[in-house]
């Protein structure tokens, strides 16, 4: 095998690696994309547990123990006025809206990131191919 062919295989491998990075980025994006949904489901479960505890006659201390799972919804449902069920229903709707917007923002960011990396890989691959197709001066 000639030295030029060795170089071509080396560059072809490098271009393949660049597109492999793109593929890994896309795979990692699939792990990030469902995070807002998972958070919303966990928060819904905490709301349901809070309502069940309240219905069973639990005291304020037991309800307050759910504060870490309620996160930023805790103040709205544990400290407000009106019936607990109404506060939970209002906060559940608001939380769904927040997480929906977070999911849309994350999807936009992931699509932009994948598009930018794809364009970079295409430009890099084109530059490598163009470098091999241009005539080279022969050493004398």
pLDDT given at position 58 = 84
Q: What is the mean pLDDT of residues 41-46?
A: 95
Q: Which residue has the higher pLDDT, 126 or 41?
A: 41
**What is the overall mean pLDDT for the chain?**
85
pLDDT at 50 over 90: yes
pLDDT at 91 over 90: yes
pLDDT given at position 137 = 62
Q: What is the pTM of this model?
A: 0.71
Q: What is the mean pLDDT of residues 27-56?
A: 91
Give the chain as a DSSP string.
--HHHHHHHHHHHHHHHHHHHHHHHHHHHHHHTTHHHHHHHHHHHHHHHHHHHHHTT--HHHHHTTHHHHGGGHHHHHS-SS-HHHHHHHHHHHHHHHHHHHHHHHHHHHHHHHHHHHHHHHHHHHHHHHHHHS--PPP-
Distance CA 132, CA 92 (A): 59
62 Cβ partners below 8 Å, 6+ apart?
Answer: 53
The pLDDT-based confidence of 24 (bands split at 50, 70, 90) is: confident
129 Cβ partners below 8 Å, 6+ apart?
Answer: 15
129 within 8 A of 5, measured Cβ to Cβ: no
pLDDT at 99 over 70: yes
29 within 8 A of 113, measured Cβ to Cβ: yes
Q: Which residue has the higher pLDDT, 134 or 73?
A: 73
pLDDT given at position 4 = 56
């Amino acid at each position: 095998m000639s030295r030029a062919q060795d170089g071509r295989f080396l560059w072809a491998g490098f271009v393949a690696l660049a597109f492999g990075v793109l593929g890994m980025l896309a795979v990692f994006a699939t792990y990030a994309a469902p995070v807002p949904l998972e958070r919303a489901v966990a928060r819904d479960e905490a709301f349901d547990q809070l309502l069940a505890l309240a219905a069973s006659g639990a005291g304020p201390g037991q309800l307050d123990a759910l504060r870490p799972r309620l996160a930023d919804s805790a103040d709205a449902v544990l400290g407000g006025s009106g019936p607990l069920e109404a506060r939970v229903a209002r906060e559940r709707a608001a939380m769904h809206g927040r997480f929906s917007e977070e999911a849309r923002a994350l999807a936009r960011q992931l699509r932009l990131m994948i598009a930018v990396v794809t364009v970079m890989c295409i430009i890099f691959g084109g530059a490598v191919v163009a470098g091999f197709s241009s005539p080279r001066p022969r050493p004398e």
